[in-house]
Amino acid sequence: MSFSGTNLKLERLEEQQLEGPGYQLSLQNQPRGCGDMAGPYPDSDLISQWLRRSVKAKLAEACDSGKSSQEDGEVPAKRGLDPEGAKDFAWAKRARVENIVCSISSSYRDGVLEEGGAGYSRSRRAQERSQLKQQLEKMREQVFQLQEKLCQIYSGVAQEEGSNVGAAWSQEPGRVGASTWRPERGSRHPGTLAEALKEELGAAMTQVVDTVMQVFARQQPPPEEPPCSYPSDQTEALPLVVRKSLPRAPPELVAGTFPRPMAVPPYLAAFKDRAAGEAYWEAVSLRTKLSSRHLLQPHCALFQLAGPTDRQLPKSQATETHQGLEPALYKPSISFSSQPQGREGLTPGHLKKAKLMFFYTRYPSSGTLKTYFSDVKFNRCITSQLIKWFSNFREFFYIQMEKFSRQALSDGVLSAEMLTVTRDSELARVLNQHYNKANDYEIPSKFLEVSQITLREFFSAISRGCDADPSWKKSIYKVICKLECDIPDAFKSPHGLPDTVHE
């Protein structure tokens, strides 16, 4: 399962290949569902495809049959069926349904790997989910029926206009070739074809919309979900050592306890420099989050699926990303923690730097720490504090991994391969919030890969029942500690202390 969603965006190209210029025109000009603007929404796309394919087939059929049935049926009233009107109506309805489907899909997608949801019964969620699926299925059927009706009308138009299918849709709203259209209910006169059509569409669509809306309204999750909480009913399945660490409060971290970062350390300067470039922002995912809980700042949306380029540069990527620094963007600074440089003691700036370094190294050796915190006077205490920091970082990291993998398991994910961690994953958001709270740094794609591997390790271990063993995480730790990445040289800079200049 990909939590970033599959790329099922509506395919304009496919539409443009449809026969019949008039149909093209109508497709391209009509208001569309959010599938066009908001990215992957499988359900709406499915409907779109059905509509396209079926209409396409019907049009072709109509073309083949030519005028054979042109004389059939009665001539509709002049204003009885305005093809543009019918089209508009149908498309408006379709857009409405697609909108709802989009919302539901998005809601589901966003919820798949979200926090467990305090007080939100897992079984109830599953129940609602299956209910939703049923509703969607029902809706699909109804939409399918609608499209059949539309196709019949399209056929009629095509037949009246002969092979000139496009013209049937274009310039003559008064001329409607619905001569072969037979109202199913048989109670309507051909003269009121438009009304019949509207009624038919309206009734079905309203039913669909209403039922979906009902389910959707119930599906809305509670407004507040503690990010680190676990449903109480699940802790029983956890080993004792895990249980205690699960209901941690969301880490508020240092931002509230000391001044905001005020300078641009080199490892941040690199980011900012790149951020100024359009190339960087090309990678920015601008997908709008429907849920307010997931509203991302523009900065926060700078994650995207790790591209092939990144994957091809596993070693050099990290440093490459942070080379070409702009020295002017930072100044050898005044410590904002009022500690003169050279004096022992770790500052909030060091903490921030350490957190960013965690993107590259989970198990830094003391030698590494000495290398990258060259402005720190190391002693036994400082070293152990720094080591303790990384221990805490790891703890948070692994807790999230376990939490999300359990969530995936309970959500019905069947295999670890279905789990992916992309930049717009909820998991990535949570991790970024912890290690990069100010959101002024780019998550290295390698870290996303490490996270994904870790997530899968946890998932498969849990699904195999390994968590019954009290030390079941050890084997995972052994895997992860081999996934260290090169730390960008920019982190070696002793000028990692913040300046007094506001960003």
Q: How far is the CB of 338 from DNA (least distance, A)?
A: 16
Q: How far is the CB of 393 from DNA (least distance, A)?
A: 7
Q: Cβ closer to DNA: 241 or 501?
A: 241
Kindly give the residue spans of alpha helices, DSSP state H, lying in 113-192: 122-160, 165-169
Q: How far is the CB of 459 from DNA (least distance, A)?
A: 17
84: closest CA among 135, 127, 41, 25?
25
Q: How far is the CB of 260 from DNA (least distance, A)?
A: 15
Q: Whose structure tokens read 């069947």?
A: 414
Q: Cβ closer to DNA: 243 or 331?
A: 243
Give, in order, the Cα–Cα distances in Å from 66 to each of 157, 161, 183, 189.
11, 8, 22, 25
Q: How far is the CB of 379 from DNA (least distance, A)?
A: 10
| Angle at alpha carbon of residue 267, lines to 263 and 271, rounded to 5° | 90
What whole-number distance in Å separates Cα of residue 18 and Cα of residue 23?
8
What whole-number distance in Å separates Cα of residue 491 and Cα of residue 271?
12
Per-residue tokens: 274:
């790149």
Q: How far is the CB of 346 from DNA (least distance, A)?
A: 7
Q: What is the 3-state secondary structure (H, E, C) of 57-125?
A: HHHHHHHHHCCCCCCCCCCCCCCCCCHHHHHHHHHHHHHHHHHHHHHHHHHHHHHHCCCCCCCCCHHHH
Q: Which residues, 6+ apart, have CB-to-CB distance to 129 below 8 Å?
A: 108
Q: What is the b/e burial string over 483-492, where b = at least 16 CB atoms within 10 angstroms of the residue's CB? A: bbbebbbbbe
Q: Residue 397: enclosing H or E segment and its boundaries?
A: helix 380-410
Q: How far is the CB of 401 from DNA (least distance, A)?
A: 11
Q: Cβ closer to DNA: 330 or 398?
A: 398
Q: Cβ closer to DNA: 271 or 389?
A: 389
Q: How far is the CB of 366 from DNA (least distance, A)?
A: 3
Q: How far is the CB of 416 from DNA (least distance, A)?
A: 20
Q: Cβ closer to DNA: 289 or 394?
A: 394
Q: Cβ closer to DNA: 92 or 254?
A: 254
Per-residue tokens: 476:
């995972």
Amino acid at 138: K
Residues in the site for DNA, rule: CB under 7 A? Answer: 240-245, 248, 251, 253-254, 346, 351, 355, 363, 365-366, 380, 383-385, 387-395, 398, 434, 473, 477
Q: Cβ closer to DNA: 12 or 343?
A: 343
360: closest CA among 402, 322, 328?
322
Q: How far is the CB of 112 from DNA (least distance, A)?
A: 26
Q: Cβ closer to DNA: 481 or 501?
A: 481
What whole-number distance in Å separates Cα of residue 350 and Cα of residue 430?
21
Q: How far is the CB of 309 from DNA (least distance, A)?
A: 31
Q: Whose structure tokens read 């376990």?
A: 402
Q: Cβ closer to DNA: 188 or 394?
A: 394
Q: Cβ closer to DNA: 1 or 480?
A: 480
Q: Residue 53: enclosing H or E segment and its boundaries?
A: helix 42-65
Report yes or no: 195 and 82 within 8 Å, Cβ to Cβ.
no
Q: Whose structure tokens read 């449903």?
A: 231
Q: Cβ closer to DNA: 65 or 234?
A: 234
